Amino acid sequence: MKLSGSFGTRVRELRQERGWSQAKLGGEEYTASYISYIEAGRRAPSPDAAKYLADQLGVDPVTLGFGEAADVGTELDIVSYLVLADRALHTREWSTALDATLRAEEMALASDRLDRAWEAQYLRCRILVEKSDFTDAVELVLELCDGVVTNQSVTVRAEVLNLAARILRSVGRLNEAVEKAAEARRIAPDVPRRVEAILQWCASCAERGDPPTSMQAEIEELSELSNLLPDGHLKGRIYWYVGNLQHFTGDTEAGERSHAEAAVMIRGAADLVLWSRVQRVIAHFKMTRGDLDGVWEQLEIAENAMRLTGRASDLAELAVEQARCLFLLGDAEAARDRLLETLTSEVFSIAFPSRAETYELLGDVLLSLEDNSGARRAFRNAATDYEAIGAGPRALEAWRNAAKVPEQ
C-alpha cells in the first residue's frame, strides 16, 4: 500500500464538495485541527485514519490515493527521503526537509514500516525545533511519546522523552518538562541519555525558579558521569550547566573555570549553534559580575555565528544580551529600543522564560529612564509570564519589583 502525495488535497476537495466543516469530517474520532493538518500535508494519516476518512466521505481509500492500486513504497525509497531530510536540515532548507520527512512517513505507513514512520516523525521534530517552530514541535513530540514504536524500546522512549523535555521548555511548559526529564532519567539505559535527562531536568527546574541547592545531588551525579564520557559536546554541556549553577550560588571562580572548559570542548566547527550559545552565556555571566571588558565584541562574534545558523530564537535571545550590555554601558535608550523590537519578534509571541526575563530587563531599563508606568507594566508582564509557565518564585519576585516602582 502507498499513500499518494495528493491525499490531503483530495480529502479537502471532497469535504468542500459536501459543504462539510473539518470538525464534521473528523466526527468523534479526529479533531478539526488534525483534519486541517492532513489536508495541508503537515501530517501523514495512519492506515486507520485514512480508512475512516474514506468511509466518512463515502469513497474507496484508493480514491484518496491510499490503497493497493498505488505504487509500493520500498525501503530504499523511504531511506532516500530520510537522507534528503537530514541533508536539508543541516543546510537549513526547512521546506525541503519537512516535505521529505512527510513523504518518508507516508511511504512507511503505507508499507506498515512503523519504525521508519517513527524515524521520519522524530526527524521532523528536530527540524521544527531548528526552525524555531516550537508550537508544532510540541504537538508532534507528545504524539511520539504515546506512539507504539516509542513504547517498544526503553532506549527509544528515553530519547523521545529527552526531546520532549527540551521542546516543552521552549514553550514554557516547565512542569511538564520536569516530568518528562524525570521519567527519561529513571529509564535511561546508558550514560549519554541519562546525562541528557539530568541536564534537561536541571534546566527546567532552574527556569521555574527552583533554588540551586535543590539540584546539588544532580550536579554531583553529572560530575561523576562526566568522567565516563570522552571530551566532546556532551561533556562540554555538563561543564556549561555546572558553571551556570556555580555562578548562581556565588562561586564565580569555579563558574569561570567550568565555562572555560565548556568553551574548549564545544567547538564551533562541529556545532556552530551550540558554540554561539556558549559564547552568549559566558558574556551574560561576565555582565552579571560587572565585567564588561570585551563583552560587546564577544556578543558580536556570537551574533555573526548565529546569523550563519539562521535560528530566529537564538538571535532574539542574543539581542536581549546586547541590550543588557548597552544598558550597563550607559546607553539605556538604545537598550530600550532593542528590547522593544525583540519583544515584537514572532519567537516571543508566547510566554516562555526568555520573554519573561526580557520584560524584567525592560523594567529595569525603563525605571532608569524614569518611565515608571512603563517599568511597572513591564514587571507585571514578566510576573504574568512567569505565572503562565509555572515559575512561581520568579513570578513573586517580579510582582515585588512592580510594587516597588514609585508612582509618578
Residue 2, pLDDT score? 42
**CA-wise closest residue to 144 among 183, 169, 115:** 115
Please give the helix or strand (H or E) that residue 3 lies within, else none.
strand 2-3
Domain annotation covers residue 90: no
Which of 155, 176, 209 is the endpoint of a domain? 209
The whole domain housing 383 covers 350-408
Which of 248-280 are b and which e, b meaning 16 or more Cβ less than 10 Å from the residue's Cβ? beeeeeebbebbebbbebbebeeebebbbbbbb
Question: In terms of DSSP H, where are the helices of 171-251?
Answer: 174-187, 191-207, 216-226, 233-248
Residue range 280-334, pLDDT digits in tens: 999 999 999 999 999 999 999 999 998 887 788 899 999 999 999 999 999 999 9
Least confident of 149-153, 212-216, 376-380: 149-153
Domain annotation covers residue 8: yes
Measured in residues, the chain has a length of 408
pLDDT band at 6 (very low <50, low <70, confident <90, very high): low
How many Å apart are CA 244 and CA 237, to the nearest integer? 11
Q: What is the CATH number of the domain that holds 378?
A: 1.25.40
Residue 271, pLDDT score? 86
Calculate the CA dihedral of residues 161, 278, 90, 133 and round it to 10 degrees. 60
Domain annotation covers residue 118: no
Residue 379, pLDDT score? 98
Residue 3 has pLDDT above 50, yes or no: no
Domain annotation covers residue 130: no
- Number of structural domains, the chain? 3
- Contact at 8 Å (CB) between 226 and 238? yes
Residue range 51-103, pLDDT digits in tens: 889 889 888 776 676 654 434 446 888 999 999 999 999 888 999 999 999 99
Share of the chain above pLDDT 90, in %: 66
Q: What is the CATH number of the domain that holds 52?
A: 1.10.260.40
Domain annotation covers residue 271: no
pTM of the shown model: 0.78
Residue 68, pLDDT score? 47
Domain annotation covers residue 333: no
Please give the helix or strand (H or E) that residue 88 lies within, else none.
helix 75-90
Location of C-alpha cell 506498515: 112
Which of 194, 209, 224 is the endpoint of a domain? 209
How many Å apart are CA 361 and CA 355, to the nearest integer? 10
Which of 52, 67, 82 is the endpoint of a domain? 67
Domain annotation covers residue 155: yes
Domain annotation covers residue 273: no
